[in-house]
């Protein structure tokens, strides 16, 4: 009955449903956390594809709603902090969302080709595979945008127990398969397949009881949220004020805490310009036996400069950001642009080495990450396996009062679950938080308020299978699944000839 009604719909109405289904997906992620809606969104996408003569268009419209709502914070960045008037920022954002929607259009086209000789249930499994396959693909293609993974919606479900084993992509695969349950039961009435998928949920619950890390010691931290307005942060007139804010808010914490953390680029000067200030903070760290972790732009004599984290513990150690934001921290194809227009001024941050060590502090070692890197578990895994805690510094002021900071915080929660270690998250405007190894928010500072978040955390030894092996177990599972589907599809094709 529903199928017949859908087939009678005007193409414009069907396209509108696709865009609406895509737009609803983000309700399954932070800050809404209504994960069943994310599953219904995926199921609706599949259903519409099955009953449309223009699946590529349906895929693109679904993607337009998906990205238009899910990355709506990009408009804030362009308009509020890129000083672009709304009449210009709106079409720029629309082009951005429309371009990303091509991923879903390509996914729809690929599904149509691969499921041509697939039975009904087989087509469902192909769709779930393509969903997670395209999540992986857009996570690295053209530097990648690893945002809006459905696996993040699993953070409040039993499926999250798989995260320390096989990471975010296994969660996305399990969620995509779970989204297909209504299709399998109501349309195809294939009880065995539905039972196999449903079994993932109790298995995830059991997997979540496995402990891969052990507590070492309980320590105290103070994280300073300076709440420096984004449009003032880099003004020369604000430099001294900013330094005084961070130093002043930290003054009463030195003798009480093991660790003091400031956010990304809390020191709005190159390291070579702030040596006196850094030395004064180093003296305080030495005198109090505490450690200071802070973000700072770090320049070298050869002209290179990095978005860095330094640890004063009391000796200075440094971590350089590995994952740079395109157009924010570097211009793609800048080497080619320099050849074509050698007089055009282009200043890029340099990419940090892929082989860096954890940063030491007085009572342990941290795995540091800066802002955007939180979205890349493959970047985080090597250091997370070696360190006692994870520390992420960010400046989410670029997001404004949007859903962006909530989504970014949820990613940090997932990294804590994957590593089974505490994550200490310090940001300029929020959300500054202490996150437990279970991904729970133990303490959190108010958004867009100047604050010092004080609390306790545990250092932990050991590492999870995901931190040690990365995505390789998932790749193996995915390939095995793919080979089975290829065999069954090829057999169906042969029998139909």
Helix H or strand E encompassing 40: helix 35-50
CA distance 292 to 308: 14
264 catalytic? Reply is: yes
Nearest to 451 by CA among 262, 259, 267: 262
Single out the catalytic residue among 371, 373, 418, 421.
371
- Edge to edge, the sheet with strand 291-299 lists 316-320, 305-312, 291-299, 259-261, 213-225, 451-462
Cα angle: 153, vertex 103, 154; to 5 degrees:
10
- Token pair of 259, please? 């660790």
321 catalytic? Reply is: yes
Q: Phi then psi for 124, rounded to 5 degrees? A: -65, -45
- Residues with Cβ within 8 Å of residue 367, at least 6 apart in sequence: 358, 359, 380, 383, 384, 386, 387, 389, 390, 391, 419
CA distance 59 to 166: 28
Strands 389-394 and 423-427: parallel
- Residues with Cβ within 8 Å of residue 428, at least 6 apart in sequence: 225, 226, 227, 228, 230, 233, 263, 264, 266, 394, 395, 396, 397
Nearest to 24 by CA among 14, 15, 12, 36: 36
Q: Are 466 and 385 in contact (CB under 8 A)?
A: no
In this structure, the number of other CB atoms found within 10 A of the CB of residue 231 comes to 12
CA distance 134 to 114: 14
456 catalytic? Reply is: no
- Token pair of 471, please? 């995505």
Nearest to 182 by CA among 254, 256, 124: 124
Single out the catalytic residue among 321, 329, 365, 421.
321
Q: Are 390 and 384 in contact (CB under 8 A)?
A: yes
Nearest to 196 by CA among 184, 206, 210, 187: 184
Q: How many residues does the chain have?
A: 497
Catalytic residues: 264, 321, 371
């Amino acid at each position: 009955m529903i199928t017949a009604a859908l087939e009678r719909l005007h193409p414009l109405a069907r396209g509108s449903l696709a865009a609406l289904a895509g737009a609803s997906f983000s309700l399954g992620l932070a800050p809404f956390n209504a994960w069943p809606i994310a599953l219904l969104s995926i199921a609706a996408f599949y259903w519409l594809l099955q009953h449309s003569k223009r699946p590529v268009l349906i895929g693109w419209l679904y993607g337009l709603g998906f990205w238009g709502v899910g990355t709506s914070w990009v408009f804030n960045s362009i308009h509020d902090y890129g000083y672009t008037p709304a009449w210009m920022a709106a079409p720029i954002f629309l082009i951005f969302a429309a371009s990303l929607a091509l991923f879903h259009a390509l996914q729809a086209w690929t599904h149509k080709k691969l499921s041509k000789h697939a039975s009904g249930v087989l087509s469902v499994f192909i769709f779930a595979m393509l969903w997670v396959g395209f999540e992986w693909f857009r996570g690295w293609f053209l530097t990648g945008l690893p945002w809006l993974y459905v696996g993040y919606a699993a953070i409040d479900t039993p499926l999250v127990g798989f995260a320390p084993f096989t990471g975010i992509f296994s969660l996305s695969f399990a969620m995509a398969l779970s989204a297909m349950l209504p299709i399998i039961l109501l349309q195809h009435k294939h009880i065995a397949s539905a039972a196999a998928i449903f079994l993932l949920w109790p298995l995830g619950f059991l997997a979540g009881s496995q402990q891969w890390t052990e507590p070492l010691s309980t320590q105290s931290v103070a994280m300073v949220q300076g709440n420096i307005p984004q449009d003032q942060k880099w003004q020369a007139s604000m430099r001294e004020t900013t330094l005084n804010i961070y130093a002043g808010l930290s003054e009463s914490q030195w003798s009480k805490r093991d660790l003091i953390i400031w956010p990304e680029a809390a020191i709005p000067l190159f390291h070579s310009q702030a040596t006196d200030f850094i030395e004064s903070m180093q003296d305080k760290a030495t005198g109090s036996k505490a450690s200071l972790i802070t973000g700072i732009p770090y320049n070298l004599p050869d002209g290179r400069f990095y978005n860095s984290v330094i640890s004063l513990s009391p000796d200075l150690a440094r971590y350089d950001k590995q994952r740079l934001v395109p157009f924010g921290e570097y211009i793609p194809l800048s080497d080619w642009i320099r050849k074509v227009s050698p007089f055009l001024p282009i200043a890029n941050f340099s990419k940090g080495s892929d082989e860096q060590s954890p940063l030491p502090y007085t009572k342990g070692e941290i795995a540091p990450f800066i802002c955007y890197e939180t979205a890349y578990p493959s970047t985080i895994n090597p250091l997370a396996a070696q360190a006692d805690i994870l520390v992420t510094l960010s400046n989410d002021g670029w997001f404004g009062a949007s859903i962006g900071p909530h989504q970014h915080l949820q990613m940090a929660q997932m990294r804590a679950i994957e590593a089974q270690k505490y994550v200490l998250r310090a940001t300029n405007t929020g959300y500054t938080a202490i996150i437990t190894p279970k991904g729970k928010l133990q303490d959190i500072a108010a958004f867009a308020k100047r604050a010092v978040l004080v609390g306790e955390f545990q250092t932990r030894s050991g590492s999870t299978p995901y931190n040690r092996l990365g995505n390789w177990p998932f790749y193996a599972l995915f390939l095995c699944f793919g080979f089975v589907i290829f065999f069954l599809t090829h057999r169906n094709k042969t029998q139909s000839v």
